[in-house]
Amino acid sequence: MPAASFKRVLLKLSGEVLMGSGEGGGGLAIDPAVTARVAQEIADVRAQGYELCVVVGGGNIFRGISAAAKGIERATADYMGMLATVMNALAVQNALEQIGVETRVQSAIPMAAVCEPFIRRRAERHLQKGRVVIFAAGVGSPYFTTDSGAALRAAEMKCDALFKGTSVDGVYDADPKKVAGARRYDTIGFGAVLSQDLKVMDASAVALCRDNNIPIVVFNIREHGNFAAVLAGQGTSTIVQAEEMADARL
Ligand code: UDP
């Protein structure tokens, strides 16, 4: 991976990576200890001089489509989901500032008393000053996800790559939890991800990254030091990129 040429990257965090797991985590939707660990990963990368945008999901608190299935009108449920992402954004901001990393939250849904509205040029200025900018509320419209929000912000902010921090270490040719011997791709093309319907990000997010030639790096953010390692071209990940760069290496 041409890590050395990356200057500005966007980290997409699923809501679930902020959740407490198992007994110790107490099942908290936002576990302060887990959030602090994730913040440290971000701080370590920031300290290396990268400009960092972050987009947080909300699935640990509320997912529009699940609520819609239970009878809440879809658009309303999605707005509730977007509000959940603002809560997560504030939690990550708090954790970052507790370790001395200046951070701004910008929401796609203006919420003047809580955070800044999304203003691209202002976000640009924050990044130039070395602040981490967290983008909340996805794209600000229902029927989208924060994956699409991440792809959109990565394009708008001219990020060199979109890092998708999840709890798996890449993209597999089959579900590794169900299929013994499922193999992880080192690199794969955007088209292959879309045509094989591989669960990387939703299709509109992958298409937006493809159209703007923004590689997607899928990696496990729960593993300590992994974000920095993957950025340095080490660690385990899958890079989704233009077909001519990727030869679907397993
Ligand atoms: N959402 C939305 N529009 C957006 C982003 C998010 O409607 O642009 C809603 C949607 O209901 C979604 C919820 O917010 O289910 C939480 O976001 P997401 O599912 O993307 O979170 P993640 O899976 O990354 O935790």
Among 145, 162, 168, which residue has the most ligand 1 atoms within 8 Å of its CB, making it the best to mutate? 145
Which is the CATH superfamily of the domain at 3-245?
Answer: Acetylglutamate kinase-like (3.40.1160.10)
Distance 139 CA to ligand 1 centre (A): 9
pLDDT for 188: 96
pLDDT for 2: 46
- Placement of tokens 């579900």 in the chain: 175
Q: What is the mean pLDDT of each run of 10 residues along the chain (250 residues)?
A: 78 94 70 96 97 97 94 97 98 98 98 98 98 98 98 98 94 88 94 92 96 97 94 93 77
Q: Is residue 150 a contact partner of residue 10, using CB atoms and an 8 Å limit?
A: yes
Report residue 108 as tokens.
């796609």
H or E element, residue 227 = helix 226-231
Among 56, 61, 63, 72, which residue has the most ligand 1 atoms within 8 Å of its CB, making it the best to mutate? 63
Give residue 100's identity as a one-letter amino acid code. G
DSSP alpha helices (H): ranges in 48-119?
Answer: 64-69, 74-98
Report residue 1 as tokens.
């991976």
**Whole-angstrom Cα distance, residue 102 to residue 97?**
6
pLDDT for 249: 63
> Closest ligand 1 atom, CA of 13?
24
H or E element, residue 239 = strand 237-241
Distance 140 CA to ligand 1 centre (A): 10
pLDDT for 5: 79
Residue 142, ligand 1, Cβ within 6 A: yes
pLDDT for 72: 96
Phi/psi of residue 107, each to 5°?
Answer: -105, 140
Minimum CA distance residue for ligand 1 atom 22: 57
pLDDT for 199: 85
Residue 143's CB is within 10 A of a number of other CB atoms, namely 12
User: Strand, coil or helix: what is 128?
Assistant: helix
**Whole-angstrom Cα distance, residue 70 to residue 236?**
38
pLDDT for 128: 97
Phi/psi of residue 5, each to 5°?
Answer: -85, -10
Residue 82, ligand 1, Cβ within 6 A: yes
Q: What is the DSSP letter of 249?
A: B
Distance 106 CA to ligand 1 centre (A): 16
pLDDT for 187: 96
Reading across the β-sheet that carries 132-136, which strands appear in turn?
Answer: 116-117, 103-107, 132-136, 51-56, 8-13, 161-166, 216-220, 237-241, 187-189
Distance 138 CA to ligand 1 centre (A): 7
Residue 81, ligand 1, Cβ within 6 A: yes
